Structure 1
Amino acid sequence: MKRHESLYPLSHHHHHALVMAVDMTKVGTDQQKYGYRDMLRQLIHFWETDGEQHFVDEETVLIPLYLAYGEEVDHDAVKRMLYEHAQIRGYVHQLRHSTRAMTEEMQALGQLLQDHIRFEERDLFPKAEEQVPEKYLYQANGQFKRDSYSGF
């Protein structure tokens, strides 16, 4: 899907999170690429370098612009995004602070991340791109944290 260039940093984060999410859903199965502890280390690293700030960027930059300039704001989509952000934060906290392997929770987080990313990329971002004036999208771009993997 073609994305407005101002949202490239967010989409780059999504790409890396999506790859990791697929691996998370396979933890504890015959298809696992990484064991639980290795996957947990990857999750924590991603969360600390990109994931947590990614949510802040969406919640404090992109969504306020969408709400301010959108003439037909999809409030249910915004609520869904915020709710899923809270769910994801909850899973990350739970996994980080557990003293035991939580394979089912890791798999559930992986599935939630996949669904969440696809929702934002296919539904929420196109609506914001369509309704927020381009000059404000470009201004927002300067406020997004760059992806630590690709530099975008």
Structure 2
Amino acid sequence: MKRIEQLQNLSREHHQSLSLAQKAIKTHEAQNAETIEALCQTIVQDYPLTWMKHFQVEEETIFALFSESKTSEVSQLCQLLEQEHRQMDVYYEQMKNADYTVLGDFGILLKKHTRMEERQLFPLLEDVMTEEQLQSVFSASS
């Protein structure tokens, strides 16, 4: 999908999250305890510096812009996506505490979430954000 330059860094990270989501779903479905534990431990190790950072960039540079308006499509979408960030944080905490039963749910939510951002949110942002706002996203995500 063609993406404007200022959103390309986040889009590339979305590609990585879709790969992780698919791996989490397949690993969960295979029901191999050792493989599930290994992937969960990798997620726990990577999550703070990769995914929490990604979520923070989105929340501070995109979602915050639309938090005042509770009625716009973009605002409602941002609120839902932020709730999903918090749910993924919960799954991370569970995996961190050796509850690996959430791996499949984590993968399903990450896949749904990422697709929603790419297919719904980003096209809207390209239409409603100013050049200055988009540049702020780009700077924060570089």
Normalised-by-shorter TM-score class: 0.7 to 0.9
Deviations 1:97-148 (A, max 9, x none): 12x5x23x1001100000000000000111112100123212331122x4xx
RMSD over aligned CA atoms reads: 2.5
Matched, 1:132 2:129: yes
User: What is the aligned length?
Assistant: 140
TM, length-normalised to structure 2? 0.85
Matched, 1:21 2:18: no
Q: Is the 8 A contact 1:27 1:36 kept in 2?
A: yes
TM, length-normalised to structure 1? 0.80
Specify every segment of 5 or more residues in structure 2 that has no aligned partner in the other structure, as ranges: none
- 1:46, distance to aligned residue in structure 2 (A): 2.7
Secondary structure, counterpart of 2:2 in structure 1: coil
Equivalent-residue separation in structure 1 for 2:5 and 2:84 (angstroms): 25
Matched, 1:57 2:73: no
Q: Is the 8 A contact 1:57 1:143 kept in 2?
A: yes
Residue number in structure 2 paired with 1:149: none
From the two aligned structures, give the one with the greater helix fraction. 2
Equivalent-residue separation in structure 1 for 2:50 and 2:40 (angstroms): 15
Specify every segment of 5 or more residues in structure 1 that has no aligned partner in the other structure, as ranges: 147-152
Q: 1:62 to 1:129 in 2, by over 3 A?
A: same
Residue number in structure 1 paired with 2:8: 8
Percent identity, aligned pairs only?
Answer: 28
